[in-house]
Amino acid sequence: MTTIAPEQVNRIVWNQHHDPFEVLGAHLVEENGKSNLWAVRAYLPNASAVTVILPEERKEYPMETVHDPHFFECTIETQELINYQFRVKEGEHERVIYDPYAFYSPKLTEFDLHLFGEGNHHRIYEKLGAHLTDVNGIAGVYFAVWAPNARNVSIIGDFNSWDGRKHQMRKGQTGIWELFVPGLGVGEHYKYEIKNIEGHIYEKSDPYGFQQEPRPKTASIVSDLKSYAWGDEDWLESRRHTDPLTQPISVYEMHLGSWLHASSGEPAKLPNGETEPVVTVSELNPGARFLTYRELADRLIPYVKDLGYTHIEILPVAEHPFDGSWGYQVTGYYAPTSRYGKPEDFMYFVDQCHKNGIGVIVDWVPGHFPKDGHGLAFFDGTHLYEHADPRKGEHKEWGTLVFNYSRNEVRNFLVANALFWFDKYHIDGIRVDAVASMLYLDYCRNDGEWVTNQYGGRENLEAADFLRQVNHIIFSYFPGVVSIAEESTAWPMVSWPTYTGGLGFNLKWNMGWMHDMLDYFSMDPWFRQFHQNNITFSMWYHHSENYMLALSHDEVVHGKSNIIGKVPGDRWQKFANVRCLFAYMFTHPGKKTMFMSMEFGQWSEWNVWSDLEWQLFQHEPHQQLKEFFKGLNHLYRSEPALYTQDFAREGFEWIDCSDNRHSVVSFIRRDKDSDNFVVTVCNFTPQPHSHYRIGVPEPGFYTELFNSDARQYGGSNMGNLGGKWTDNWSFHSRPYSLDLCLPPLGVLVLKLDKEKTAEALANS
């Protein structure tokens, strides 16, 4: 008996039906007054014979072809028809499968669709994408993808020979296509085959996919993010009750793929005895492979912990096809890159960081995305995620596309993505890349290549609103984390709360300080006397934002030289200049970020395809520079005066900033919760001063806590024999003063020893 018209069958065969459930699966039909007659239909390309199996009744019903050699139908008289199976014969092979069109059970409720439509579904990643689930007791994977302008969408993968005819999806009212495929599990490779209104086919990775194949392959992989057993509950609870702005934050910025490599012949550390092949680096580094997340946990964490850093900042870890983009051209926003392992391996890395007292910050790229065919570009055959107008939707300088922040669903994709990394991977912060490119409509665009906002201005109001939304939501869910803006313009209140009109970040990179410092330290020391303003200018504005002082990867690439190559002088002076620069940085108000390799004085620029120059550790100056950073981080973390009032006027005061003739500055940093303070004196020339007097606010013995010129750091070991007593001479408008020995290109940090002072007064 045939119960379906040829045109309906043809729409399925030609993959032109927006709702294949109307045709396929089991449907009640009436014949001769019977109300319990079911028509079961299936479209199974490559099948030569199909039988319906009713396991509970232990019966089988042969199906007949209808209107097409691979469209099958039969009728069955029964009260209820659930969990039936097909016995499918394909050539000499036979298999038994469940019918995906017998399991329509959408995970998306009306409320989900409403929230997504208005851009406020904060955990939409738990509904869209690929999710392990049971329907009627049958295990499988539920797929859902937003493609409102597509004519048809199918799931393709290894399980169906990448044939888009076999698993056609159903379109809901809001443009979300969905299908449950029984029998699938973790590890399945898949994509979406999307046809636009003209029938053009696009094969796309899952925008909400949790894992992708290692490049150059691009399929998404079904993953279970609930399988890892976390052990960082105490860390998360402590973080929730901590204000990061009053804590020491010393960040080791790094790129996981170029910190260190292993030999491609060296077996990788994988969990549970797995033997999955590891990923080789590139033709530029033959014979090398990437370390896995677990190997990085074993090697990187002890190294960073020994140096004393509080956080590791990772260049974008989301999946990206091109190594040379450093991760800043993302195609898999919800997938940690498979170059280094699986999602649970990255979870292990973060977990181990937390167990060792180290926070994890991830670079996040919501400003643009690449044009790769498997990615978000022209996703459903239209400009879905990007602006259609190239004057708003394209970064010509970078060859990338700009998100359409005015579209609710696109904004929801990004907001939920930021939350996702905190929620599923327990990260402690994000550094938002290229914020300036988001905030200005004319960014890197010539006249005529951009359009104004509704008020005729150059500000991207939708992007600003998006940033406010994402920051507000992050801190609502995850107090105690950090959200850092890489923002280089004069946009006001970047790190102010959203309720005051700010963008809502709690930290902002101080790009002005970075440029001033590198310009100053690149000068011959004799000329520095004419540029004292480079050193002092930042103090005019340091309290206007919550600044992070950053010497990042951008400063050691593209012909800029590494830090030690930027500074003048012979080899000894170069190392002394580097120590002087970083000692000033760590005593200056603001949190700290520095890029890998700076801690041991790498000479060459950073190369994303090579190791850091670890062989330099065979030379004593590089060993000593590493010891310097250990001492500097210890000083920074042990003295609350250096971090509790980074963003308040009360936390900093000049002793003398006007001695440009000697290129010396001196200042005080004060603790928020006590009357303790430290004194810093910086000599930015190779000329030592055996008697250099500075004023101090209190009498007593000032211990020399830190001397960047100490012998163990490779310096000349000039100093003050452990400290100095004050003289009752007024100087620099202060009642007491210290007569100090200033080392060449050296920084001294001193602190009043109250116990020793009190003991001396008691004995006097």
Residue 111's pLDDT is 95
**Alpha-carbon gap, residue 632 to 581, rounded angstroms:** 12
Give the rounded percent of residues in the chain with a pLDDT score beyond 70.
98
**Alpha-carbon gap, residue 36 to 58, rounded angstroms:** 18
Residue 109's pLDDT is 92
**Alpha-carbon gap, residue 102 to 27, rounded angstroms:** 10
**Alpha-carbon gap, residue 433 to 415, rounded angstroms:** 15
Residue 101's pLDDT is 96
Residue 48's pLDDT is 94
**276 falls in which pLDDT band (50, 70, 90)?**
low
Closest CA to 364 of 321, 407, 318, 397: 318
Residue 275's pLDDT is 55
**655 falls in which pLDDT band (50, 70, 90)?**
very high
**283 falls in which pLDDT band (50, 70, 90)?**
low
**Alpha-carbon gap, residue 726 to 736, rounded angstroms:** 6
pLDDT digits (tens, 9 = 90+) for 525-572: 999 999 999 999 999 998 899 999 999 999 999 999 999 999 999 999
Q: Is there a contact between 740 and 734 (Cβ–Cβ < 8 Å)?
A: no
Closest CA to 406 of 598, 119, 131: 119
Residue 716's pLDDT is 97
Q: Is the dihedral of CA 512, 514, 520, 523 positive or negative?
A: negative
Distances (CA, A) of 353 to 121, 229, 310, 350, 358: 30, 15, 10, 5, 5
Burial of 277 (0-12, 13-18, 19+ CB in 10 A): exposed
Q: Is there a contact between 372 and 321 (Cβ–Cβ < 8 Å)?
A: yes
Closest CA to 151 of 171, 132, 136: 171
**Alpha-carbon gap, residue 145 to 193, rounded angstroms:** 11
Bond prior to 366 in cis (omega within 30° of 0): no
**Alpha-carbon gap, residue 507 to 711, rounded angstroms:** 36
Q: What is the pTM of this model?
A: 0.95
Residue 223's pLDDT is 97
Neighbours of 468 (CB within 10 A): 18
When computed from its CA atoms, the radius of gyration of the chain, rounded to whole angstroms, is 32
- Helix/strand/coil (H, E, C) string of 74-125? EEEECCCCCCCEEEEEECCEEEEEECHHHCCCCCCCHHHHHHHHHCCCCCHH
**32 falls in which pLDDT band (50, 70, 90)?**
low
Phi/psi of residue 360, nearest 5 degrees: -125, 125
pLDDT digits (tens, 9 = 90+) for 734-751: 999 999 999 999 999 999
Residue 480's pLDDT is 97
**How big is the CA angle at 345 (ends 354 and 329), to the nearest 5 degrees?**
95
Q: Assess whether 554 carries a catalytic annotation.
A: no
**Residue 753: strand, helix, or coil:** coil
Residue 273's pLDDT is 60
Q: Is there a contact between 385 and 410 (Cβ–Cβ < 8 Å)?
A: yes
Closest CA to 290 of 308, 276, 303: 276
Can you tell me which residue has the tokens 């898949």?
190
Q: Which two tokens stand for residue 692?
A: 């250099």
When pLDDT is averaged across residues 598-623 and rounded to a whole number, the result is 96
Residue 408's pLDDT is 97
What does pLDDT average to over the chain?
94
**Alpha-carbon gap, residue 626 to 630, rounded angstroms:** 6
**Residue 707 bridge partners (DSSP):** 748
* Residue 296 predicted with pLDDT over 60: yes
Ranges 44-58, 262-276, 341-355, most confident: 341-355
State the catalytic residue, choosing from 486, 545, 646, 709. 486
Q: Assess whether 486 carries a catalytic annotation.
A: yes
Distances (CA, A) of 428 to 58, 232, 354, 362, 384: 55, 12, 10, 8, 31
**Alpha-carbon gap, residue 607 to 620, rounded angstroms:** 24
Longest dimension (CA), the chain: 118
When pLDDT is averaged across residues 620-636 and rounded to a whole number, the result is 98
Between 360-369, 569-578, 752-761, the lowest mean confidence (pLDDT) is in 752-761
Residue 274's pLDDT is 63
Distances (CA, A) of 531 to 68, 564, 588, 685: 83, 20, 18, 13
Closest CA to 485 of 463, 517, 458: 463
**Alpha-carbon gap, residue 509 to 590, rounded angstroms:** 9
When pLDDT is averaged across residues 504-529 and rounded to a whole number, the result is 97
Residue 168 is given by DSSP the state: B
**Residue 40 bridge partners (DSSP):** 26, 74
State the catalytic residue, choosing from 99, 380, 433, 545. 433
Phi/psi of residue 427, nearest 5 degrees: -65, 165
Closest CA to 470 of 415, 433, 424: 415
**Alpha-carbon gap, residue 190 to 203, rounded angstroms:** 10
Closest CA to 330 of 215, 484, 441: 215
What is the four-CA torsion angle of 292, 297, 300, 304, rounded to 10 degrees? 160
DSSP H helix total and E strand total for the chain = 16, 38
The secondary structure of 668-691 as a DSSP string is EEE-SSSS-EEEEEEE-SS--EEE
Question: Any idea how long the chain is?
Answer: 764
Closest CA to 426 of 514, 325, 354, 502: 354
Domains of the chain and any CATH numbers = 6-98 (2.60.40.10), 110-222 (2.60.40.10), 245-378+402-445+458-638 (3.20.20.80), 648-763 (2.60.40.1180)
Q: Is there a contact between 171 and 19 (Cβ–Cβ < 8 Å)?
A: yes
**Residue 656 bridge partners (DSSP):** 666
Phi/psi of residue 327, nearest 5 degrees: 100, 0
When pLDDT is averaged across residues 365-391 and rounded to a whole number, the result is 95
**691 falls in which pLDDT band (50, 70, 90)?**
very high
**106 falls in which pLDDT band (50, 70, 90)?**
confident
Residue 399's pLDDT is 92
Cβ contacts of 466 within 8 Å, gap of 6 or more? 366, 405, 411, 414, 415, 438
Closest CA to 159 of 130, 194, 188, 180: 188
**Alpha-carbon gap, residue 270 to 292, rounded angstroms:** 8
When pLDDT is averaged across residues 611-624 and rounded to a whole number, the result is 96
When pLDDT is averaged across residues 210-236 and rounded to a whole number, the result is 96
Q: Is there a contact between 553 and 599 (Cβ–Cβ < 8 Å)?
A: no
Beta strands (DSSP E) in 338-417 are 359-364, 394-395, 400-401
pLDDT digits (tens, 9 = 90+) for 123-158: 999 999 999 999 999 999 999 999 999 999 999 999
**Alpha-carbon gap, residue 77 to 354, rounded angstroms:** 61
**Alpha-carbon gap, residue 182 to 29, rounded angstroms:** 25
Can you tell me which residue has the tokens 């040379």?
324
Q: Is there a contact between 288 and 281 (Cβ–Cβ < 8 Å)?
A: yes
